[in-house]
Every structure is written in structure tokens, then in C-alpha cells.
């Protein structure tokens, strides 16, 4: 069971009349967590509040043993942040820039140089490290940002749209880096609109909408068990249309049927649905070839929960 490293409690933040965070609470566990939400959901406000860049109106955050925002000074050294926007300083090499950022986190000159050297190699910029950053491509700038976030060895990496603006190859490289960092035990919070990135790299998700938490938890559980019912795919040896009619007559809701499969729903958390299907198949002398829960994509879950949230309001 992974431990909670960060707990946000009832965070509120408004800009004039606009409530960006509305009593927002969430738990971030060890590992890689995806932070999802539509534009204006409050993701960046939450991240900036976490880092002390924006003050908050009320609430607090527990990050390891630090109580934020009161103890943000000490906690900053343990958070590495990669903002969404491309960042660069004119006529400064990547090496100088990353070393400088490392020294701001309290490293000595020699330690910062060594770390910057290592981490720029790690992100794949070893050969380009002495080039001025204004000559870098978008993908290279993303890697510099990742190196900057990593260089001071933080306990938590906060990555805001880490693959934004990258070509497919650079995106693949960055995702591999994130996966690799996850494997070596680095805790990562990724905020992105690219849901496949989250599906690929994250083990937990927090979904926000209108400054509130909509859903949070283990990604695999959310993908397979969202809602009151679970969608199943059934394949039989005989006629799928005929068997779907029998299922329908016995109270099953048929979502879709074609020559190869039937899609239906079972009540979530019980095996009664599948047992009933087997019974009906036996009565009809049909053989069940396959019966398996349909795995939703994160995008479908995301759209469902956001739509549901909007309907509630």
C-alpha cells in the first residue's frame, strides 16, 4: 500500500469574483499521479498554491512533515517544478541555467555543477549543454525544464504539461524519462490534457473541475470500475443477435451487438451478472467463448465525470 505524501485540505483561492479553488481536497500518494481537468479547472492554481507562488485564501497542505503554506521555505527544496510555458534566458547555456537553479536550491558550486552535468545527460542534452538556450527546439527546452525540475533531487516532481509542444520523438523520450523516474521511486504529479500520457505513466489520478475534486484514486480501478455498472463484452459460439435478445428478455441492458460480440452492463462489484449469463447460455446450449469487462479509456472516464459534474450543477 503506497503512502500519502501530500494531502490538500479544503484549499480555496479566488481571483476577484472567480473562485479558482473551491474547498479543494485531495491526496497524492507515492508514485506517479495524474492531475486532470478541463481548462480553468484550477490545476495550475493548485500547483502554484502548493509552491507558494500564489497565496491561498484558506485551507492547508500537508507535504510529508511540512505544513504548507507556513513551512513552504523548507518544503521548496523538495519540490521540483516544470511549468507549462517554455522558459529560457537569453545568452545563457543550458549548463549555466541548470547549475544556477540547482544553487538556488542550496547546492554548493561543485555539487551543482556535477548535478547539472549528470541531469542534462540524463535527459538527453549532454552534447547540447553548452549551447545557448535560445537556439534550442521546443522539445529541447522541455528537457531543460525537466532537468531544472530534477537537478536538486526533490521528493516530488510537479510537471505541468511536460510534453506540450514536443514532436512525437521528443514526446516519447520525455514519457520514457517519466516512466524511468517512476521506476526509481520518484514521486511525480503530472498535470496534462494529454490523457494517453497519464494512462501510460500514472498509477493514480485526481480529476478536478471548477476548482473542486471530482474523482481521485487508483487509475486501474477507476478505469475498470467507474460508475454503478460495469460494461462487459460477451462472445458466444452461436448467433450473437439471438443470444442478445435472450439477455435482454432477462433484464440485461444491451449496449451494442454485432456478429462478433455483445456489449452489456452488469451491476458493479458483484459476480451475479456473469453467473446469470452462464446460466442462460447453458439453457440455450450456447458456449461462452469470452466474457470480460470492457476497459474504458481514461478519456471516456474523464468525459463522463466532467459531464456528470456539470449536470449536477
Which residues bind to another protein, rule: CB under 8 A?
A: 44, 48, 51-53, 72-73, 76-77, 79, 81, 83, 85-92, 96, 100-101, 103-108, 111, 115, 118, 121-122, 124-128, 137, 140, 145, 148, 150, 152-153, 168-170, 172-173, 176-177, 180-181, 184, 186
Angle at 205 between CA 198 and CA 121, to 5 degrees: 45
- Of 156 and 262, nearer to another protein (C-beta) is 156
Q: Judge contact between 79 and 156, C-beta under 8 A.
A: yes
Q: Judge contact between 94 and 129, C-beta under 8 A.
A: yes
Min dist CB 310 to another protein, Å, is 24
On the 0-12 / 13-18 / 19+ scale of CB atoms within 10 A, 12 is: middle
Min dist CB 290 to another protein, Å, is 32
Contacts of residue 128, Cβ cutoff 8 Å, sequence gap at least 6: 94, 136, 140
Min dist CB 121 to another protein, Å, is 4
Min dist CB 209 to another protein, Å, is 19
- Of 44 and 216, nearer to another protein (C-beta) is 44
- C-alpha grid cell, residue 277: 449469463
- Of 94 and 277, nearer to another protein (C-beta) is 94
Nearest to 148 by CA among 81, 50, 79, 73: 81
- Of 184 and 312, nearer to another protein (C-beta) is 184
Min dist CB 294 to another protein, Å, is 29
The helix (run of H) or strand (run of E) holding residue 221 is helix 219-225
Amino acid at each position: 500500500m503506497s503512502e500519502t505524501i501530500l494531502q490538500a485540505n479544503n484549499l480555496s483561492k479566488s481571483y476577484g469574483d472567480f473562485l479558482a479553488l473551491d474547498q479543494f481536497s485531495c491526496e497524492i500518494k507515492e508514485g506517479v499521479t495524474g492531475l486532470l481537468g478541463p481548462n480553468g479547472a484550477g490545476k495550475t492554481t493548485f500547483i502554484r498554491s502548493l509552491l507558494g507562488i500564489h497565496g491561498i485564501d484558506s485551507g492547508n497542505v500537508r507535504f510529508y512533515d511540512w505544513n504548507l503554506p507556513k513551512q513552504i521555505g523548507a518544503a521548496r527544496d523538495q519540490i521540483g517544478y516544470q511549468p507549462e510555458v517554455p522558459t529560457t534566458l537569453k545568452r545563457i547555456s543550458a549548463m549555466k541555467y541548470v547549475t544556477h537553479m540547482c544553487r538556488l536550491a542550496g547546492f554548493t558550486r561543485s555539487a551543482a555543477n556535477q548535478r547539472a552535468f549528470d541531469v542534462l545527460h540524463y535527459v538527453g542534452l549532454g552534447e547540447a549543454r553548452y549551447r545557448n538556450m535560445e537556439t534550442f527546439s521546443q522539445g529541447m527546452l522541455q528537457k531543460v525544464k525537466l532537468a531544472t525540475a530534477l537537478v536538486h533531487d526533490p521528493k516530488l516532481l510537479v510537471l505541468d504539461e511536460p510534453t506540450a509542444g514536443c514532436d512525437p520523438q521528443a514526446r516519447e523520450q520525455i514519457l520514457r524519462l517519466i516512466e524511468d523516474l517512476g521506476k526509481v521511486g520518484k514521486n511525480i504529479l503530472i498535470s496534462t490534457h494529454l490523457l494517453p500520457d497519464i494512462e501510460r505513466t500514472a498509477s493514480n489520478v485526481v480529476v478536478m473541475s471548477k476548482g473542486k475534486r471530482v474523482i481521485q484514486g487508483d487509475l486501474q480501478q477507476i478505469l475498470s470500475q467507474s460508475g454503478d455498472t460495469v460494461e462487459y463484452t460477451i462472445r458466444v459460439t452461436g448467433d450473437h443477435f439471438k443470444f442478445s435478445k435472450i439477455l435482454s428478455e432477462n433484464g440485461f441492458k444491451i449496449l451494442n451487438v454485432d456478429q462478433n460480440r455483445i456489449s452489456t452492463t452488469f451491476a458493479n462489484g458483484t459476480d451475479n451478472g456473469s453467473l446469470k449469463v452462464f446460466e442462460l447460455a447453458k439453457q440455450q446450449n450456447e458456449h461462452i467463448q469470452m466474457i470480460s469487462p470492457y476497459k474504458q479509456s481514461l478519456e471516456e472516464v474523464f468525459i463522463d465525470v466532467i459531464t456528470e459534474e456539470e449536470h449536477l450543477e
